Amino acid sequence: MISFFTSHSKLFDQLAINALLALSLSVCLQAGQLALAQAAFMGIAAYIGAILAVSAGLPLLPCIAIGALASTLAAMLLALPVRGLRGVFLAIATIGFGEILRIVANNLKLTGGGEGLSQIPSDANTFVIYGALIIVCIALYLLSRTKFALAIALTREDETAARGVGVDTAGVRFWTLALGGAIAGIAGVLYAHSNFFITPADFGFGRMEQILVACVIGGSTSAIGAVVGSIVLTLLPETIRFLADYREVTNGAILLGVVLFAPQGIAGLWRRAKS
């Protein structure tokens, strides 16, 4: 087991980063917002975290702090113009936002264009990455015990009714997007600081699809589900040798199977089994 762990430490790092990304989307989905800009928030923080380390020699922790702050601000800026959009319209607008940022990163000198940035110090080790994941999980757990969590659930289930009982639904939508941006930003800096180089393609629509798939497989309205979904999606093709060659088909089939047969995701199956 220990040798499996050490020989696959890269995989475990990846797993925690994917879990953070899924959590960042889960926060938005829990408020009923299909906002698909998480990969873009991740990219903003990844680039800022990389540039600060490469050209200013900043250590990891300030990189995470500044990167996550920037992605949070970006999420807040995005939240304002899209505040009137719901459902697929919100999804499309946020996808468009992500694509614009990807094209900008492809064309700027600062971001190294399509070739991206390299020589990023690989100082985000497994302990740091899992430390970040645990801190985010604790923070989300504490949040889930507040009144705000109730407001989030009410906004998701019925926005009009939630407003009727005095929930500030606009505030819920704004702050969940911002929180999602912050978590995606942490994941982005960790990604940059554990991968040596980054390119704009790392943060495109393909990445966004992966994040969405992890959330839905786990159960789109639960934080635990998001983590479980990331674990399944990252480990399944690696542990079952036979599936490794068919990774994409497997992902597609799992996704389809969950959507059709377990609409509440793996977390929903668990809840159903318990009750």
Partner 1 sequence: MLLQQLVNGLVVGSVYALFAVGYTLVFGVLDILNLAHAAIFMIAAFATYALVAAGVPLWLAFLGGCLLAGLVGIALDRVAFAPLRRRNAGTLIPLISSIGVSIIIGAIARGIWGIDERHFPNALGDAPPIHLGAITVTTVELVTFGAALALMLGLSYVLRATALGRNIRAVAEDRVAAVLLGVDLEKTIAMTFFIASALGGAAGILTGLHYNSVTVDMGAGIELKGLAVIILGGMGSITGAVVGGFILGAVETLSVAYISSNWRDAIAFGVMFLILVLRPRGLFGKRALRAA
By rule CB under 8 A, what count of residues binds partner 1?
39
Contact stretch for partner 1 (CB under 8 A) within 2-10, 146-154, 227-235, 250-258? 250-258
Please report how close the Cβ of residue 184 comes to partner 1 at its closest, in angstroms. Answer: 19
Go through 201-230 and write b for each residue having 16 or more CB atoms within 10 A of its CB, e for each that does not: ebbbeebbebbbbbbbbbbbbbbbbbbbbb
* Residue number, 10 or 247, with CB nearest to partner 1: 247
Q: Which of residues 135-164 bind partner 1 (CB under 8 A)?
A: 159
Please report how close the Cβ of residue 255 comes to partner 1 at its closest, in angstroms. Answer: 4
* Residue number, 12 or 205, with CB nearest to partner 1: 205
Q: Which of residues 100-119 bind partner 1 (CB under 8 A)?
A: 100, 103-104, 106-107
Residue 131 engages partner 1 in binding (rule: CB under 8 A)? no
* Residue number, 188 or 200, with CB nearest to partner 1: 200
**Structure token pair of residue 36:** 């698909």
Please report how close the Cβ of residue 31 comes to partner 1 at its closest, in angstroms. Answer: 13
* Residue number, 182 or 212, with CB nearest to partner 1: 212
Please report how close the Cβ of residue 253 comes to partner 1 at its closest, in angstroms. Answer: 7
User: 3-state SS of the chain?
Assistant: CHHHHHHCHHHHHHHHHHHHHHHHHHHHHHCCCCCCCHHHHHHHHHHHHHHHHHHHCCCHHHHHHHHHHHHHHHHHHHHCCCCCCCHHHHHHHHHHHHHHHHHHHHHCCCCCHHHCECCCCCCCCHHHHHHHHHHHHHHHHHHHCCHHHHHHHHHHHCHHHHHHCCCCHHHHHHHHHHHHHHHHHHHHHHHHHHHCCECHHHHCHHHHHHHHHHHHHHCCCCHHHHHHHHHHHHHHHHHCHHHHCCHHHHHHHHHHHHHHHCCCHHHHHHHHHHC
* Residue number, 95 or 133, with CB nearest to partner 1: 95
Q: Cα(143)–Cα(215) distance, rounded to whole angstroms?
A: 19
Contact stretch for partner 1 (CB under 8 A) within 96-104, 161-169, 236-244, 266-274? 96-104
Contact stretch for partner 1 (CB under 8 A) within 1-9, 43-51, 95-103, 170-178? 95-103
Residue 196 engages partner 1 in binding (rule: CB under 8 A)? no
Residue 202 engages partner 1 in binding (rule: CB under 8 A)? no
Binding site for partner 1 (CB under 8 A): 34, 81-82, 84-89, 91-93, 95-97, 99-100, 103-104, 106-107, 159, 205, 209, 212-213, 216, 220, 246, 248-249, 251-253, 255-256, 259-260, 263
